[in-house]
Amino acid sequence: MHAITHQQGTMQWAEVADLASPGANEVTLRVAWAGVNRADIAQLAGKYPPPPGVSETLGLEVSGTVTQVGTNVQNVEVGQQVCALLAGGGYAEQVVVDARQLLPVPDGLSLRDAAALPEVFATAWLNLYMEAAMQRGERALIHAGASGVGSAAIQLCRAFGNPCFVTVGSQQKRDACEALGADASWNRHDGDFIDAVKDWGGADVILDPVGASYLSANQRVLNPDGRLVVIAMLGGNRAELDYGRLLMKRQRLIGSTLRARPPEQKGHILTQLQEKVWPKLAQGEIKPLIHNSWPITQAAEAHDYLKTDANIGKLLLAVSGEE
């Protein structure tokens, strides 16, 4: 089979060894589309290695068709179209994945649409509604609102009754996020967001991929009993924590990653997605937001584009390109 290989920061679509047959609890997929994520860029730069025992091949989410099924796998059939949350291996013609990390393609959506779902909706749902346990009516602050995760989070907030405020990097992104359902927005190039969020009513939950450089401002806009969920460190990994504010406002700081979680945990997250979010996708209440796609042979161009921070929604790679 073919897969993206990478050495010293460069990528090449090359012939590699065929995958072993799936284990008892696994399935093999013929990959149609693969999602592009910042974690892929970090791995390529040597800053985010895969968990032990996981393929070195990039790619944390795919859509495709089941070609083999392990002996213990139930309710999955050869020929079924699915999408999958991976720990690695998605930039390839085939991938083997634990069956608990599969989701069916929602009714009415294509394989291309489905490739834009697993990573971003699992991340947004996990951190807003499981880790932070956000309740209907609570207010959310979503940083990087035009990103794949951000656009998923906005739609979840709209669908489940949570007003949300987003920070973004341009007026175009403000307009796009408000069209998706954000109640208010702020261009980070206009200064800090503290006064704007406070005037809006503050935040009960913050979803933050920035990290250190936003910690102080995040603490200042959190309401009493507020939860700050940090999912990445784009703004650095060290900052000063205001313990007085933490204690007096009963704030909770939650660190969260998805990639290294075991299959049973990922399966629990995806089960909730299928029960609560997939019907809304089938009804059109929530939609995958795809900015652009490239052939898998142009993965480097897709990465370069993601680095520009110009996208509104997901970037994809066409492997077979099957719809």
pLDDT in tens, 174-204: 999 999 999 999 999 999 999 999 999 999 9
Assess whether 186 and 249 both reside in one domain.
yes
Percent of the chain at pLDDT exceeding 90: 98
| CB-facing half-sphere around the CA of 231: CA atoms within 13 A | 27
* Pairing verdict, β 140-143 and 164-168: parallel
What's the total number of domains in the chain? Answer: 2
Query: Based on the domain organization, do 85 and 163 belong to the same domain?
Result: no
Query: Which of 206, 237, 255 is the C-terminal boundary of a domain?
Result: 255
Residue 219 domain flag: yes
Picking from 255, 284, 307, the residue at the C-terminal end of a domain is 255
Same domain for 97 and 136, yes or no, is no
Q: Which two tokens stand for residue 232?
A: 């990445």
- On whether both 249 and 133 belong to a single domain, the answer is yes
How many Cα atoms within 13 Å fall on the side-chain side of residue 255?
A: 5
Quick check: is 266 in a domain?
yes
Residue 35 falls within a domain, yes or no? yes
Q: What is the CA radius of gyration of the chain?
A: 19
Other Cβ atoms less than 10 A from the Cβ of 183: the count is 18
Are both 11 and 43 inside the same structural domain? yes
Cβ neighbors of 100 (< 8 A, separation 6 or more) are: 25, 263, 264, 266, 267, 270
Q: Which residue has the tokens 């796609």?
A: 293
The three-point CA angle 64-68-74 to 5° equals 95
pLDDT digit string, tens, across residues 96-138: 999 999 999 999 999 999 999 999 999 999 999 999 999 999 9
Specify if 218 maps to a domain: yes
Task: Please report, for the domain that includes residue 192, its CATH number.
Answer: 3.40.50.720
Structure-block tokens of residue 222: 């959190």
Residues 291 and 263 grouped into a single domain: yes
Residues 136, 217 within the same domain? yes
Show Cβ contacts of residue 177 under 8 Å, excluding neighbours closer than 6 positions.
145, 146, 150, 151, 154, 166, 168, 185
Q: Does residue 323 form part of some domain?
A: no
Residues 138 and 245 both lie in one domain: yes
User: In this structure, are 285 and 181 located in the same domain?
Assistant: no
The CATH number of the domain holding residue 272 is 3.90.180.10
280: closest CA among 152, 174, 176, 163? 152
In contact, 22 and 28? CB cutoff 8 Å = yes
Range of the domain at 179: 120-255
- 74 and 9, same structural domain? yes
C-alpha 250, offset from chain centre: 28
Final residue in a domain of this structure, among 232, 255, 278? 255
Whole-number Å distance between alpha carbons of 77 and 82: 10
- Give the separation between CA 210 and CA 262, rounded to whole angstroms: 25
Q: Do 130 and 231 fall into the same domain?
A: yes
Are 232 and 251 contained in the same domain?
yes
From first to last of its 323 residues, the chain has per-residue pLDDT tens of 999 999 888 899 999 999 999 999 999 999 999 999 999 999 999 999 999 999 999 999 999 999 999 999 999 999 999 999 999 999 999 999 999 999 999 999 999 999 999 999 999 999 999 999 999 999 999 999 999 999 999 999 999 999 999 999 999 999 999 999 999 999 999 999 999 999 999 999 999 999 999 999 999 999 999 999 999 999 999 999 999 999 999 999 999 999 999 999 999 999 999 999 999 999 999 999 999 999 999 999 999 999 999 999 999 999 999 98
